[in-house]
Structure 1
């Protein structure tokens, strides 16, 4: 179980001076096997800012596709002039908001960003991918394209929460509740003698007329199944950056808004969830054991 310290602090008011290793020692004393504390962004140095792609020139005289871009980073470069950057990625377009490492920045792996001449052009920075920032899997393996409303010139280190500590806990069978942030937060609150803000203590709306029929054929294997219909959801909507980053930090890949929300709640509360497209579901949802010779195709 991977537990970001920044997320854990939402449930327990840990002293600001407490580091991930301090929390590790406390949880080990409480009987949890905290194997490592990963220091995210420890070797990261700015300036790393949000920019808007102003122009793209395709350089076709080389063996592989190369693009010469100008990127508006506001006043982050001290001049207000667009930043000239050579980039080989192709998953972004003019007008897109991207993450720009300006000269002087140092990316994970001691990768230093400086002005240099390449492919016959002067490149003054780098347009970053999630891999280059050690963010985890985002499903694209390409340039990070930010929501269009993201402010130009904004500090991308803060925006993407690139600096954090992540505790890696080997959860033993008797501590199954620690396969969730809520469970680990409870142990942390007890270890420190602090109050717990339980994320599960919320008012749940009463059942409504949009319920969907479910039939459980094996109550021993599944003693309850709760289905709730959500309307007004845009399938094209993107999950907010903070939610995507939390999923990445616990080792999950952001997929879509509906899937990300179910995964987020699962990691927060320890309750597995699944989202169905009501437009595609036909008839009663059945919960049963597999039958002999039966095959299925998994989501991956």
Structure 2
């Protein structure tokens, strides 16, 4: 379990200036196996800011695509407000996009110092950054393009929460609660003798018209199953940066708004969730064991032959997911304008069914191993 210190501080008021190493020592004394403390942003110095691409000139006389860009960085460019001219080899951004720019005098992780220099026959006054160059992921396919609402000159170090510490905890089988921020926060609060702000202490609405019909055939395999419908979803909406960064620090890849929210809740309070595209469901959700020889294509595109012990989520067509393990491909959240073999061309998910359930842990463990 990877626990960002900045996230942990939301639940426990740690002493000002308390380091990840100090928290590590406290948690080890409490019996948790904190293997490492990773310092994010080490070696990163500014100015690192949001920029807006004003113009792009394609330089075609070179062996690979090169672009000469004019970028508005607000007043960060020496306080003059003048656009910066920057050479860039990536092509996944356009005029008007918001990007992350490191200006001359800055330094990226790994000791990569930035200065104004002549390259490809032009003077480049900084660099437009990718995810990998910023040290926030392994994606090096192109430039990090930000949502449009951020103004040029905004401090990108603060926006992207680049400076942090992450505790890496090896969770033993008898400490399953430590697979959530809530569980680790509780241990931290006890270790420091401080109050805990429990993120699970919420007023839960009573059953209402936004429920979704559920039929559980195997009560031994599933003793509680709750489903809610979320309507009016904007299929174009993306997860906010703060949520994406928390998932990344915790070791998860942001995928889409619906999937990111379910992963975030699982990390925060330890309750796994699953989201279905309501338009792809046919009738009530059911829970039963697999029939001999029954098959299911899971989210990873693999057709799996099921075992009679496997606990399934079903609708009227048959299996749509392996309970507590992996969803099925036929009910996943649709991205805008995705071609679906059942529905044809779909515009993206606008109604979501969210599942929260408690399954027999032994059955889930056996299915997961298989």
- TM-score in terms of structure 2 length: 0.78
1:237 — aligned with what?
237
Most deviating of 248-257 and 139-148? 139-148
Change (3 A) 1:104 1:222: same
5 Å-filtered alignment, 1:110-125, equals 110-125=111-126
Q: CA deviation at 1:123?
A: 1.0
1:165 — aligned with what?
165
1: distance between equivalents of 2:202 and 2:111?
45
2: distance between equivalents of 1:41 and 1:293?
51
Q: CA deviation at 1:221?
A: 2.4
What secondary structure, in the 3-state scheme, does the structure 2 residue paired with 1:166 have? strand
2:5 — aligned with what?
5
1:127 — aligned with what?
128
The answer to whether the 8 Å contact 2:47/2:105 transfers is yes
2: distance between equivalents of 1:121 and 1:296?
56
1:250 — aligned with what?
250
1:16 — aligned with what?
16
1:299 — aligned with what?
299
Change (3 A) 1:254 1:140: farther
The answer to whether the 8 Å contact 2:130/2:140 transfers is no
2:215 — aligned with what?
215
What secondary structure, in the 3-state scheme, does the structure 2 residue paired with 1:58 have? strand
Matched, 1:102 2:103: yes
Q: Gapped runs of 5+ residues in structure 1?
A: none
Q: CA deviation at 1:292?
A: 3.3
Q: CA deviation at 1:290?
A: 3.5
- TM-score in terms of structure 1 length: 0.96
Q: Gapped runs of 5+ residues in structure 2?
A: 301-370
Q: Report the RMSD for the aligned CA atoms in angstroms.
A: 1.3
The answer to whether the 8 Å contact 1:136/1:249 transfers is no
Number of aligned positions between the proteins: 299
Most deviating of 142-151 and 5-14? 142-151
2: distance between equivalents of 1:70 and 1:20?
40
2: distance between equivalents of 1:280 and 1:235?
15
5 Å-filtered alignment, 1:32-181, equals 32-78=32-78, 79-136=80-137, 141-181=141-181
